[in-house]
């Protein structure tokens, strides 16, 4: 029950609150699934993750409907990347239902797609259908992957903790690189003040 609740909350935050732009949701969902024993708890986790993803999508849609095009200039979209926003907007304007459906399997893009769809005025019926179908597929793939990995016995070795440590360090480095201040090279060469010369 605890894993199902965590799965719901993480999928909601990943899809609707922008967490997917920082931490890949697939890793957390698969890790939760690997810690669950029994078919019924795995199914419960899968349903919870699907519902969390759909809820997050609808939260993003609501934000997009209310915020409209002003969101593109917001600080949050600036952190995620305006180029990613523009890419998602182009996809949703050209393909609608299929863009929302396909975005579920694309990290980061799926985080901004519901907001973009809301701002672009995508029909709700098309959005809801794509959201539910995509969330079912996403949940089945990654919950199934985690459960299958646990059943295979590969997680019993100590090397798993080393791999998780390396992955956590890689995430921290990635975050630090994205949020580092501009270097001197990027800012341009420093201009030293003119030195006064003496007239003899």
- Tell me how far CA of residue 179 lies from CA of 22, 23, 64, 87, 189, in angstroms: 11, 15, 25, 22, 21
Q: Which pLDDT score is estimated for 15?
A: 76
Would you state the pLDDT for residue 194? 54
What 3-state DSSP class applies to 26?
Answer: helix
Contacts of 157 (CB under 8 A, 6+ apart): none
Number of neighbours of residue 35 by Cβ within 10 angstroms: 16
Alpha-helix residue ranges (DSSP H) falling in the chain: 2-16, 25-34, 39-67, 75-80, 82-95, 97-103, 109-120, 124-152, 159-178, 184-187
- Provide the pLDDT for residue 55: 94
**Tens place of pLDDT for every residue, the chain, 200 residues?**
688 888 888 888 877 766 655 666 777 788 888 888 888 988 999 999 999 999 999 998 998 888 766 766 667 666 666 777 777 777 787 788 888 888 888 777 777 788 888 888 888 999 999 999 999 999 998 898 888 877 766 545 544 545 556 666 666 666 566 656 544 444 455 454 555 555 54
**Angle (nearest 5°) at CA 104 between 102 and 111:** 125
Among 114, 108, 118, 109, smallest CA distance to 131 is for: 114
Distance CA 148, CA 33 (A): 9
What pTM value is reported for the model? 0.68
């Amino acid at each position: 029950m605890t894993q199902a609740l965590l799965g719901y909350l993480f999928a909601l935050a990943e899809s609707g609150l922008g967490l997917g732009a920082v931490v890949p949701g697939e890793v957390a969902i698969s890790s939760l699934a690997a810690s669950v024993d029994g078919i019924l708890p795995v199914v419960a986790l899968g349903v919870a993750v699907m519902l969390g993803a759909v809820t997050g999508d609808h939260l993003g849609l609501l934000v997009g409907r209310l915020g409209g095009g002003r969101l593109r200039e917001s600080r949050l979209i600036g952190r995620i990347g305006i180029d990613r926003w523009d890419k998602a907007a182009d996809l949703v304007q050209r393909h609608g239902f299929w863009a929302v459906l396909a975005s579920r399997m694309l990290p980061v893009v799926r985080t901004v797609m519901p907001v973009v769809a809301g701002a672009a005025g995508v029909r709700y019926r098309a959005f809801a259908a794509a959201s539910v179908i995509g969330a079912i597929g996403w949940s089945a793939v990654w919950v199934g992957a985690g459960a299958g990995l646990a059943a295979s016995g590969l997680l019993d070795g100590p090397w798993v903790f080393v791999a998780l440590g390396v992955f956590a360090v890689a995430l921290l480095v990635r975050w630090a690189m994205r949020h580092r201040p501009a270097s001197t090279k990027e800012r341009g060469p420093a201009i030293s003040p003119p030195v006064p010369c003496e007239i003899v």
